[in-house]
Structure 1
Amino acid sequence: MSRTLRHALRAALFAALSSLLLVGLVGPASAAPPPTAERGENSCVGRPVPARLVSIQLWTFAEYIGFGTDAATQARHEEVLRSLSEMGYRNVEPFTLSGMTAEQYAELLRKYRLQAPARHVSVGTPEEPADIEQILAENRVLGVKYFGSGGTPQYTTEAEWTAYAEYLDTVGEQARKAGQWLMVHNHNWEFETTFGDRTAFDVLMQHTERRHVVSQLDLYWVAFAGTDPIDVIEEYGNRVRLFHVKDLNEGIERRIEIVGRGDLDFASIFRAAGGSTRYYVVEHDPRFGDPTFDPFVAAEEGFAHLTCSTR
């Protein structure tokens, strides 16, 4: 079957499924209009993504929240959750609990009517395994179903990547038995590191079982590495369960851009995925030290772009 025909079939299926998913879309997220984008008004993704499927990786706010565990850090973390709830977000993806216990953090989520269906937390490596039982226990309290490290090690040999994949498969089996899913979040190096005609990402997928390990595909990093995200989606199908929706600006050093201001064709990518995507996770890596970057603007515009809300 040609790639063009595959795209057409996937697009038809996506349209049918989306017409069912769109029931119950939320209304406007905020009374304030979005700021004018650097490259023009922030456009809509095309077919709206239901708000219940939109999340945000809190790494977007890493510089604002900070990396401490003191009361001031926790207060900033709470302020972020409050603001996201007011924007219309229903889900968040934490990268830290800022020193709070899982119970305390779960209480904050309830306070602001948020859920954390996914989480970034170090799951270790074959050389330094993590306490997976503790992570699974915290996840149960938090309501997390998908979890994984924020990045993979930058191994250089196929043997190292294979051993890492086998370790992840073991962790994924533990997760499955606990009713959870282990996810692999990529950067660019998984697609730039190759062994013959296989990438390191291929090695990870081939040495893990689909019932144990799924992919959280970071669309920016895939494109940055020179790979078409649609090709990855077509290769691995419903193993790609979550997207990090992060935009790429080809005009400014291929930098990470606010979702909707960049050059990635999210509408085509989402159509290719069909109905298998569980969560669309907005993300913008912090521009540490750059006072012109406002993570709250990035969050608000990202939500508006995906849900096609106007404010």
Structure 2
Amino acid sequence: MRVTTSLRAVLVAVLSAVLFVGLAGTASAAPPAQAQAASDCAGRGVPLSKISVQLYTFAGVIGGGAGEQERHEEVLRSLAEMGYRNVEPYTLSGWTAEEYAALLDEYGLKASARHVDVGSQFTPADIEQILEDNRTLGIKYFGSGSTAGAPWIGQLRTEADWVAYAQYLDAVGEQARKAGQTLMVHNHDFEFTTVFGDRTAFDILMQHTQAKNVVSQLDLYWVSYAGLDPVDVIEEYGNRIQLLHVKDLNPDLNRRIEIVGLGNIDFPSIFAAAGGSTRYFVVEHDPRFTDLEFDPYEAAEVGLEYLTCTTY
């Protein structure tokens, strides 16, 4: 069982150490073990420059319609106050790319990546427009889940469909690379549970795209939900996995998504396996739209505290 250390506990420990030294009357007095642990933790945690948060966590707050932009801006303001330096948008809420870039700048935030529908061989997207918006937003990484392969979409039914989809993504990725950007593919569980012979759909996506054109944003919850160990996936595909969606799993509540650090996913082992290839560790918690007690701000804050105190 892991012990999750909160930022508040770290601060209390540090203050306790200062008080201890003062009362002891000598700087050579040994600090309490808790303070020493806090000091060690602070030195090994994920740096803020590598931590981001997927704004879909706040989809239930941002919503749509009247007031959406005001609610979206309040989310950005709150995240900046928590200490986040990066965010990962899933919508611009009606703002132009220029307006959204100015809003991020106002709150001292950067967009580490962007989730946007890049289409499929059946429904191609306007990639030039996406790339232009990304340049304005200062975004390098962009992409989405394998939406076309989702069971509720049903565009990809055969192995040949998945191969053609991978080839489409590779072409988009080449276009992005030439524009100085990087296409990423974000997984759910179905990329690992859709199997053709000895290959999963995820294998097909990796094998039929070039590493220079397409990278993976590995969602650790969905890999675990599909019954795989994320460490095995990382060890197989190495530095093609450049971003991690850090989401936890609660085995006691129907394997639901859990606040980071409160489930059973072994993040330290995963981070160690990923090594230095991880560009961003992205906190995420899919919204519980019908759960009025769920607080996405708490999920974001606890996730930030957990990562800043977790080795990688």
The TM-score normalised by the length of structure 2 is 0.83
Aligned counterpart in structure 2 of residue 110 of structure 1, from 105, 109, 113: 105
Residue equivalent to 1:238: 239
Out of 79, 86, 92, the position equivalent to 2:81 is 86
Aligned position for 2:199: 198
Q: CA deviation at 1:149?
A: 1.6
SS at match of 2:73: helix
**Structure 2 letter corresponding to 1:205:** M
Partner of 1:183: 184
Using the alignment, how far apart are the partners of 2:241 and 2:276 within structure 1?
A: 11
Structure 2, unmatched stretches of 5+, are: 1-6, 13-37, 151-155
1:191–1:199 contact (8 Å) kept in structure 2:
yes
TM-score by length of 1: 0.84
Q: Percent identity?
A: 68
- Matched position secondary structure for 1:215: strand
Question: Cα offset for 1:47?
Answer: 3.8
How far apart are the structure 2 equivalents of 1:141 and 1:173?
20
- In structure 1, the residue matched to 2:29 is none
User: Quick one: which amino acid aligns to residue 148 of structure 1?
Assistant: G
Larger relative contact order (Cα-Cα within 8 Å, sequence gap ≥ 6): 1
Alignment pair present for 1:48 and 2:45: yes
Which has a greater percent of helix? 2
Contact 2:145 2:188 in 1 (8 A): no
Q: Which residue in 2 is equivalent to 1:152?
A: 147
- The 3-state SS of whatever aligns with 2:118 is coil
Matched, 1:210 2:211: yes
SS at match of 1:269: helix
Which residue of 44, 55, 59 corresponds with 2:56? 59
Structure 1 residue ranges (4+ consecutive) displaced by more than 4 angstroms after TM superposition: 43-46
Within a 5 Å distance, the mapping from 1:1-311 to structure 2 comes to 47-68=44-65, 70=66, 72-153=67-148, 154=150, 155-308=156-309
Looking at structure 2, the residues matched to 290 and 221 of structure 1 have their Cα atoms a distance apart, in angstroms, of 21
* Matched positions, count: 271
Partner of residue 19, structure 2? none
What is the Cα deviation at residue 196 of structure 1?
A: 1.1
- Look up the equivalent residue of 1:103 and give its one-letter code: E
Could you tell which deviates more after superposition, 149-158 or 93-102?
149-158
Instruction: State the secondary structure of the residue aligned to 1:149.
Output: strand
How far does residue 151 in structure 1 lie from its aligned partner after superposition? 4.1
Query: How far does the alpha carbon of each residue in 1:187-245 deviate from its partner, in whole angstroms, 9 at most, with x for none?
Result: 00000011111100000000000000000000000000001101110110000000000
Cα distance between partner residues in 1 of 2:145 and 2:215: 14
How far residue 46 of structure 1 moved from its aligned partner, in angstroms, is: 10
